[in-house]
Amino acid sequence: MMYEVKVYVTLKEGVLDPQGSAVKNSLHHLGYEGVEEVRIGKVMTLRIEAEKDTVDAQVKEMCDKLLANPVIEDYTYETEEVVSS
């Protein structure tokens, strides 16, 4: 089966996000004074050929080993079967 997996990797609360702060300052300069916080993370879209009962475990392993840094980042993911037409 083919699966499309979206992995969202975000900084843990309390971890400084200088990139987010820079974007917030830029937004203020553009006049969007109402922006109080910006946090920036990653979204990774993977297409994986795998068995239904192993895909979740595989994605979790990939996140723990490579896609996220568990010291400073959290991750979540959504798995969806790709229906070929």
Residues that bind a second copy (CB under 8 A): 2, 8, 10, 20, 23, 26-27, 30, 32, 34-50, 58, 62, 65-67
Burial label, 74 (beta-carbon count in 10 A; 0-12, 13-18, 19+):
middle
Computed from CA positions of residues 82, 78, 54, 75, in that sequence, does the dihedral angle turn out positive or negative? Answer: positive
Q: What angle do CA 34, 36, 41 make, to 5 degrees?
A: 125
Residue 65: CB minimum distance to a second copy, A: 6
Nearer to a second copy, 45 or 71 (CB): 45
| Shortest reach from residue 27's CB to a second copy, in Å | 6
CB of 67 to a second copy, least distance (A): 7
50 vs 56, beta carbon nearer a second copy: 50
Report which residue type is found at 44.
M
